[in-house]
Amino acid sequence: MTGSPPRWSLGGRLSRWFALTTFVGLAAVCAAVYLEAEAHLRDRQSDLLNQYQQTLRYLASESGENWDMFIHKLDDLVRGRTDVSLELLSSDGNQLYHVGTTSVFTLNRRFRLENVGPSIRYVEAMISLDVAPDQLLLDHLIVVLTLGALVGTASISAIGYALVKKGLAPVGGLGRQISQLTASKLDDGMDGSNQPTELQPLVEQFNELLLRLRAAYEQLKGFNADVAHELRTPLTLMAANSQLILRGAHSTEEFRDAIESNLEDLNRLSSIIGDMLFLAQADRGVRARRIWVESLHGLCQTVADYHVEAYENERRRIYVTGDAAGHYDASLLKRALSNLVENALRYSKPNSPIEISISRQAAGVDVCVQSLGETLTQDVLTHMFERFYRASDDVGANRHHGLGLSIVAAIAAMHSGKTIATSEHCITRIGFFIQDARPDGIS
């Protein structure tokens, strides 16, 4: 069994990123300061070597070829100094002059001096500058800058953590508001008046979600009441018929009538339960089982012929126009069409024709049933596909349990489609759009 993923703190993550950013920024500044200080010291050391080199060349030219005078002047220049050493080598590599101490950290400059003696054509001069104090200064600067960066990062991070915690306080307020919501308080929503601008979209989206949940909750309550009502009516009739039969002696014909009445109510219960199970499967996301249908016209004509025979006494006429082919669930389409035609026959004007139209669209097919009757209001068109909804309260309407058009909507959804409902100038057009199958076979 896999455990839940580790929880992490938004405030902690923001604080860590803030601390890391601060440290990187301070480290970059400290590095720049160090590099600038090092470059300044290197320039100063190079300038100092240049001065010594120019001074030696001047002393060599001033002394002419008098070696002793040249050495005397060199002693005056460098002897007794601890920051510089001077070494003169003959052309064959012999040491002619050396003064000064050696150091681990030195900066050397080698160059040639000519005509410094009567028999000396030239000498190799090497000046060594002791840079240990400068290096010690740089090492000390590294320590100071590192400690400054660490202390600065710690201080700024502490302040940043406090600011982040304060900035996230409204999120905690939203959490407290959410914890106080109950099923009976979904209409209250969340108060975003005191929330920052960044949280306003979240509050608005959450309140819209609460409204959808409220609508679904009310629909569920209404659905439960409708189911209880639809199941109670046939059960009550069956119980009443059974009690009447048990109260006295009855003929065989009376027993037969009672059993037939109970059987009719049982069939009604079975139909309601079957329709509810089908809708439950559709709600779980069951998709249509698509097969190749060569002609939707022929499928619709089969449904039309069945209903013409069922309403033979009324001499109703049902026309089918248009055609299309594709991958569809034929049995589901027959069921949806049957419900639509049954609904049209029930509510249209007597002896008026009914038309089943098939229209090819860019991404699918429209299948609609058109009939003549009263123009339906927008409220009826909006709610007619809801479960147990009835636009009429007459006795004939109450013989049907109000799930027919809900099943049509479910079948359309199983084909990745939608319902269609329009009513103008006494012409009502109800149907559905079914989307063509995708190349990968998914509905």
CATH number of 199-283: 1.10.287.130
Q: How confident is the model at residue 32 (pLDDT cuts 50, 70, 90)?
A: very high
Amino acid at 427: I
Euclidean distance between CA atoms 255 and 241, whole angstroms: 10
Q: Tell me the fold of 291-435.
A: Heat Shock Protein 90 (3.30.565)
The C-alpha angle 341, 347, 348, rounded to 5 degrees, equals 80
Euclidean distance between CA atoms 241 and 245, whole angstroms: 6
Q: How confident is the model at residue 88 (pLDDT cuts 50, 70, 90)?
A: confident
pLDDT at residue 395, rounded to an integer = 41
Q: According to CATH, where is 3.30.565.10 located in the chain? A: 291-435
- Share the mean pLDDT of the chain: 81
The yes-or-no verdict on residue 316 having pLDDT over 90 is: no
pLDDT at residue 397, rounded to an integer = 46
- Structure-token match 């049509």, residue found: 408
Query: Could you tell me which residue, 237 or 442, shows the higher pLDDT?
Result: 237
pLDDT digits (tens, 9 = 90+) for 385-428: 887 776 665 444 445 667 888 889 989 888 888 999 999 988 99
Q: SS in 3 state form for the chain?
A: CCCCCCCCCHHHHHHHHHHHHHHHHHHHHHHHHHHHHHHHHHHHHHHHHHHHHHHHHHHHHHHCCCHHHHHHHHHHHHCCCCCEEEEEECCCCCEEEEECCCCCCEEEEEEEEECCCCCCCEEEEEEEEECHHHHHHHHHHHHHHHHHHHHHHHHHHHHHHHHHHHHCHHHHHHHHHHHCCCHHHCCCCCCCCCCCHHHHHHHHHHHHHHHHHHHHHHHHHHHHHHHHHHHHHHHHHHHHHHHHHHCCCCCHHHHHHHHHHHHHHHHHHHHHHHHHHHHHHHHCCCCCCCEEECCHHHHHHHHHHHHHHHCHHHCCCEEEECCCCEEECHHHHHHHHHHHHHHHHHHCCCCCCEEEEEEECCCEEEEEEEEECCCCCHHHHHHCCCCCCCCCCCHHHHCCCCCHHHHHHHHHHHCCCEEEEEEECCEEEEEEEEECCCCCCCC
Most confidently modeled of 29-38, 64-73, 171-180? 29-38
The yes-or-no verdict on residue 24 having pLDDT over 80 is: yes
pLDDT at residue 280, rounded to an integer = 77
Distances (CA, A) of 305 to 375, 397, 430: 27, 24, 19
Give the distance, in angstroms, between the CA of residue 200 and the centroid of all CA atoms in the same chain. 18
pLDDT at residue 168, rounded to an integer = 77
pTM of the predicted protein model: 0.53
pLDDT at residue 175, rounded to an integer = 77
Distances (CA, A) of 184 to 143, 190, 415: 65, 14, 36
In percent, how much of the chain has pLDDT > 90? Answer: 17
Q: According to CATH, where is 3.30.450 located in the chain? A: 10-163
CATH number of 10-163: 3.30.450
pLDDT at residue 33, rounded to an integer = 93
pLDDT at residue 47, rounded to an integer = 92
pLDDT at residue 367, rounded to an integer = 93
Q: According to CATH, where is 1.10.287.130 located in the chain? A: 199-283
Most confidently modeled of 160-169, 213-222, 272-281, 310-319? 160-169
The yes-or-no verdict on residue 145 having pLDDT over 80 is: yes
